[in-house]
Amino acid sequence: MNKVMKKKIDTTSEQYENKLEFFLDDLKKIKNPQIIEFGVRFGVSTKKIIEICEMNNGFLNAIDVLDCSKVSNSKNWKFHQCRDDDFEYLNKVLPRNIDLIYLDSYHNANHIEKIFYHYYDFLKPNGFFIFDDISWIPYLSNKKRNSFNCEINNLETFEKIIQITSSNEDLFKLYFSFEGSGLCKIIKKSNLPLNKPQKIKKRTHTIKNYLRKVFYYFKSI
């Protein structure tokens, strides 16, 4: 690996680690935490979570389609090489009553919805469900990280979370961080079942809104 590439990866890892404090600060306060992580890759977040597990007598089950078993030799984690939607297998091996689930695998809005609705029941009340990559802002065409796919995928993920929240606003608390590529934090209130997401009925493209814009335009000149 050349020095330029290594520096780029190191810089990205540092930014990513800073972003993770949005939920790692919460995790540090939990005794004997049980955690599930979907998406390991280079193991940046995995190693951070394992450090907390070693301090607080916790345990991490981590899942990835690639072989990431060498990320750590800690006794406080177990790696499962499979898809995050391999429900037949994971339902058998993953514990319930989970304190935190971190989702950073396949960034597609419909996939994220499927994973969230399946594993939400694994969380205990007051447990955390974390979505990574919910901000499209760094990937706009006029930004340094310009990426069409990341912009659209992250925007669609954000909108999907809003749809889910619209039909479940009494069942969980919702928080966002727009640092870097963004994070969403959901805190489960109770064991009541989730409702299906509702399509948001926006009034952006209504006649009333167009008239409002015309009114403010002439008012400003």
The dihedral sign for the CA sequence 34, 25, 130, 144: negative
Per-residue confidence (pLDDT) for residue 8, from 0 to 100: 43
What are 185's strand-pairing partners? Answer: 130, 175
Round to whole Å and give the CA distance between 198 and 162.
Answer: 9
pLDDT digits (tens, 9 = 90+) for 75-121: 999 999 999 999 999 999 999 999 999 999 999 999 999 999 999 99
Who has greater pLDDT, 135 or 219? 135
- Cβ-based burial of 163 (10 A; exposed 0-12, middle 13-18, buried ≥19): middle
Residue (of 143, 37, 43) closest to 84 by Cα position: 37
Per-residue confidence (pLDDT) for residue 146, from 0 to 100: 95
Round to whole Å and give the CA distance between 217 and 207.
Answer: 15
Confidence of residue 11 (pLDDT cuts 50, 70, 90): very low
Domain definitions of the chain by residue range = 10-220
Residues 10-220: name the CATH superfamily: Vaccinia Virus protein VP39 (3.40.50.150)
Per-residue confidence (pLDDT) for residue 83, from 0 to 100: 98
Whether 5 shows a pLDDT value over 60: the answer reads: no
pLDDT digits (tens, 9 = 90+) for 25-54: 999 999 999 999 999 999 999 999 999 999
Who has greater pLDDT, 198 or 174? 174
Per-residue confidence (pLDDT) for residue 12, from 0 to 100: 63
Backbone φ, ψ for residue 132 (5° rounding): -95, 160
Confidence of residue 130 (pLDDT cuts 50, 70, 90): very high
CA distances from 28 to 64, 77, 174 (A): 24, 16, 20
Round to whole Å and give the CA distance between 160 and 174.
Answer: 13
Residue (of 37, 35, 53, 55) closest to 45 by Cα position: 37
Dig out the tokens for 157 from the structure.
């993920």
Per-residue confidence (pLDDT) for residue 13, from 0 to 100: 67
- The total of other beta-carbon atoms located within 10 Å of residue 4's CB is 8
